[in-house]
Amino acid sequence: MFSLRKCGLTVAARMQPANLHFPNIRNYAARKLNVPLSGMAMARSGGIASMMRLPIASSADGLDACFVGVPIDTGVSNRPGTRFGPREIRTQSVLVRECNIATGAAPYQSLMVADVGDVWVNLYNLPDTCRSIKENFAKIIKNGCVPIAAGGDHTITYPILQAVAAKYGPVGLVHVDAHGDCSDTMLGEKHGSPFRRAVDEGLLDTKRVVQIGLRGSGYSVNDFKFQLDNGFQIVPAEECWHKSLTPLMHEVRQQMGDRPVYISFDIDALDPAFAPGTGTPEIGGLTSIQGLEVVRGCAGMNIVGADLVEVSPPYDTTG
């Protein structure tokens, strides 16, 4: 019979609060922290569908980290629907319990976390939406709160990075995606280009940028030239096939060092067999296990913000 003791860890040892590296971690011993509403207290089909069943806060004041929705699909290049992503992510998050038994992470024992709702967006004016995102995230991170954003299409990462870089300077980036999102223009508009705009404005420490899972057809065989010319590390999906990504993430942690890092995870990085609910699916993607390896491999980095984008509920009828 399998025993935790055979792994060299007792249950008690594994369930200690995670040693998370947040820049402005506060003394949590004296605070009463928010915890998710337990399924023992209310059935998971009941209650308000906040992220992880956490309390809803009117601002990020006093929070170490927060969940925030950005419900737009104005910048989608193929199938729309990501404006409904934050709502559905919240709905599905009710199943997530307080502790990760596999890793021993127990974040709610050491961090004050809440759901701060959605950023105001203008679905008829993308530049105005970007302005609103930038201003709202500047307020969220003002006192060191780490925002975890639910999109929304990948446009949202650009104004978030504007706010983050204004506080922390150029940041490292772990970008998990099927697409590089570094086009200059499309149909004459600066579209599909959040990370090109971020480079243009000096928001990224380009020697600490890694893009994982890129794949699919392109407009030319030199589609990655911009990234490579600017020092990005590119990890195509083909280099991830049939292997664990844990060794890769060890290299990425060394690359990022102890300086600020932003994580942007596009759900289409996963193969559509695992995550069909997205607007631009590409076959040959990462498995759900590899996705977990990437996320877990970011533990210990100086994370100042993160997002999950391109979740498009209409294309995943299973929820």
Q: Please tell me which residue, 316 or 25, carries the higher pLDDT value.
A: 316
How many domains, the chain? Answer: 1
- 8, part of any domain: no
- 250, part of any domain: yes
- 38, part of any domain: no
CATH number of the domain that 233 lies in?
3.40.800.10
Query: Is 266 labeled as ligand-binding?
Result: yes
pLDDT for residue 14 is more than 80: no
- 88, part of any domain: yes
pLDDT for residue 8 is more than 60: no
Query: Is 115 labeled as ligand-binding?
Result: no
Query: Is 177 labeled as ligand-binding?
Result: yes
- 21, part of any domain: no
Residue 186's SS3 state is: strand
Query: Is 64 labeled as ligand-binding?
Result: no
Q: In the sheet that 302-309 helps form, which strands lie side by side, from edge to edge?
A: 113-118, 65-70, 146-151, 302-309, 260-266, 171-176, 204-214, 233-236
Per-residue pLDDT reduced to its tens digit, 46-66: 888 999 999 999 999 999 999
Q: Percentage of residues in the chain with pLDDT exceeding 90?
A: 79
- 3, part of any domain: no
Hunting for tokens 């927060």 — which residue is that? 66
- 85, part of any domain: yes
Note the pTM of the prediction, 2 decimals. Answer: 0.90
- 18, part of any domain: no
Those residues with Cβ within 8 angstroms of residue 251's Cβ, 6 or more apart along the chain or in another chain: none
Q: How many CB atoms lie within 10 A of CB 20?
A: 17
Give the model's confidence band at 188: pLDDT under 50 very low, under 70 low, under 90 confident, else very high: confident
Q: What are the contacts of 52-58 at 24+ separation with CB within 8 A?
A: 52/93, 52/94, 52/96, 52/113, 52/115, 53/93, 53/94, 54/113, 54/114, 54/115, 55/114, 55/115, 56/114, 56/115, 56/116, 56/117, 57/114, 57/115, 57/116, 58/116, 58/117
| Domain that residue 210 falls in | 51-315
Instruction: Enter the tokens of residue 233.
Output: 């590390």
Query: Is 223 labeled as ligand-binding?
Result: no
* Mean pLDDT in residue range 239-265: 98
Query: Is 181 labeled as ligand-binding?
Result: yes
Q: Please tell me which residue, 187 or 179, carries the higher pLDDT value.
A: 179
